[in-house]
Structure 1
Amino acid sequence: MVQQLFVSGLTPISGLSAPEAIVRRLTEAIIAGELKAGDQLPREDELARVLRVAPMTLRNALASLREMGLLVTTRGRYGGTFVASDIGEKLRKAAKSNIMTKQELRSLTDWRRAISGEACYLAAERGNQRDFSNIQSAAEEFSKCSSDVSLRRLADARLHTLIAEASKSADLVRQEIHIQEQLNSIILPLTTPSLVGNTRSMHHDSLVSAIVERDADGARRELIAHVESTFDWCVSLMMSRQTTNN
């Protein structure tokens, strides 16, 4: 299915060189769950028009994403450009070349406390029933992905992005997507099903309940506890990896 809702949320490319910006924009859309495995992108002419780039510039960017294994293009009557069916595993392989240090993870966690904590607070204050329903559905989807680490990571990123969207702050959404992209760098290369564990970072019930019940202070507290648990869990994964390599 062609992602028209994805298109409606796009803005013209600026800042980075156009091909680099397109690659980043589409990668972020995949990480945030706006584009999922098997989703079809709009026609190239439509996508180029929305992004206000030349068709050749868009083709170069799409070619880069195909080389990364994130997109596939098929020909024929039902052809088009699609998000790779094994997108979770592709992102995992890409992340292996960019593993964080413990210090970088600590800095990311502090950033996440500030950005994601405020997003949860405002989501509880400003979110509507549709937002809450989407957040609850995303939390349920996360719980169903326990046997597939890559899909679980994408489901987690989607949940936190939806919470940021419920805050009604475009800047917080952008920052949350960047945070989730950085989390891929530490989580995807390290985790295996046997290392998922039953930590607070693996549950969102209390956080989601606080948001839905419009307990803004409680939502922020739950988020901070959640991200600190994630920090501790990731550090344990990093130590396990170092032990294994030695």
Structure 2
Amino acid sequence: MNRDKPGIRRAVFTPVDTLARVDAVVRRLGDAIDLGLLADGEQLPGETELAAQLGVSTVTLREALMSLRQQGLVTTRRGRGGGSFVTVPDGPAEDRLRARLSDWSTEELRDLSDHWAAVSGAAARLAAQRTEPEDLEPLNRSLEELTRAEDTAARSRIYGRFHVELAAAAQSARLTRAEVTLQTEVGALMRLVLGEDEYLGDVLDRHRAVISAVHDGEENRARDLAEQCVRTSMTRLIELRLGSAHGARGPRPKEDLHGERAPSRNRLGDGS
């Protein structure tokens, strides 16, 4: 995803649109730091500019920066050359991400799943209509990189980049921007569910199937596969949020790579 750094930065600093604006700013910037969209030591825009970019008051922004400082994600320096700087803590990122996941309600996660699945599904359907074989090169390259990725940070970045590149293949600027914005919200949390090699194999199979459907121009199948890829990952994240007995390592939803799914109590929206 760092291939389009200016576009990513614009998405990171777009206005937040929730009533809990302090929490929204903390979540937005914290996830961007954990996902590597904001680099260690990078200086954030000045308070007035950053507040305007995020669509919040300077008071709200200062409260958010205070919370980020308490989490060790931001350092503020005074005087000449001062400002707020990104600080990536030495401690395990998974611990921070689990704490951040607990700030999401299951209803918010399900709503996010619906939104993300809709965007990725629409992107895949349009990509199947509009792409030429050479347009799929970025997707194939990301698939190969994901195959080789060993740490969860790299896996989550490539996973998110795949979905952004899928939207780009749809030749839709709005869908691409929507995917980038979604990655600033949930991309870092994907580290919590991409640690298992077994599950990574499942993800690779799904991505490979999406590429195949797009290549063959199978619009509906491409849409269904892309939606299911997102929903399966979000189901695992919700299971982890709920702290179920199985957690993120629980049984997979019973589905195949064509998007068909048998009835299951783990299905999103059915109270799982």
- TM-score bracket relative to the smaller structure: 0.5 to 0.7
Secondary structure, counterpart of 1:81 in structure 2? strand
When the two chains are superposed, the root-mean-square deviation of aligned CA atoms in Å is 5.1
Change (3 A) 1:29 1:119: farther
TM-score under structure 2 length normalisation? 0.57
TM-score under structure 1 length normalisation? 0.61
Q: 5+ residue gaps in structure 2?
A: 251-272
Q: Residue 123 in 1 paired to residue 107 in 2?
A: no
- Which whole-Å CA distance do the structure 2 matches of 1:93 and 1:20 have between them? 16
Secondary structure, counterpart of 2:86 in structure 1? strand
Q: Residue 149 in 1 paired to residue 180 in 2?
A: no
Q: Which amino acid aligns with 1:156?
A: Y
Equivalent residues of 2:28, 2:184 under 8 A apart: no
Query: Equivalent pairs: percent with the same residue?
Result: 27
- Which residue number in structure 1 is paired with residue 98 of structure 2? 93
- Which whole-Å CA distance do the structure 2 matches of 1:14 and 1:228 have between them? 23
Change (3 A) 1:74 1:4: farther
Summarize the alignment of residues 43-122 of structure 1 with structure 2, pairs less than 5 Å apart: 43-44=45-46, 45-72=48-75, 81-82=85-86, 84=88, 88-89=93-94, 91-95=96-100, 97=102, 113-122=117-126
- Which residue number in structure 1 is paired with residue 263 of structure 2? none
Summarize the alignment of residues 153-168 of structure 1 with structure 2, pairs less than 5 Å apart: 153-164=156-167, 166-167=169-170, 168=172
Change (3 A) 1:49 1:72: same
CA shift, 1:22, in A, is 2.5
CA offsets 1:198-236 (integer angstroms, 9 cap, x no match) = 642244233234446655344224325545765787799
- Which whole-Å CA distance do the structure 1 matches of 2:112 and 2:54 have between them? 30
Q: 5+ residue gaps in structure 1?
A: none
- Which whole-Å CA distance do the structure 2 matches of 1:16 and 1:89 have between them? 27
Equivalent residues of 1:142, 1:155 under 8 A apart: yes
Q: Residue 206 in 1 paired to residue 209 in 2?
A: yes
Q: Residue 170 in 1 paired to residue 174 in 2?
A: yes
Change (3 A) 1:129 1:5: farther
- Which whole-Å CA distance do the structure 1 matches of 2:24 and 2:239 have between them? 34
CA offsets 1:32-91 (integer angstroms, 9 cap, x no match) = x68155372543244234335454543332222233344455688698512626685355
Equivalent residues of 1:138, 1:155 under 8 A apart: yes
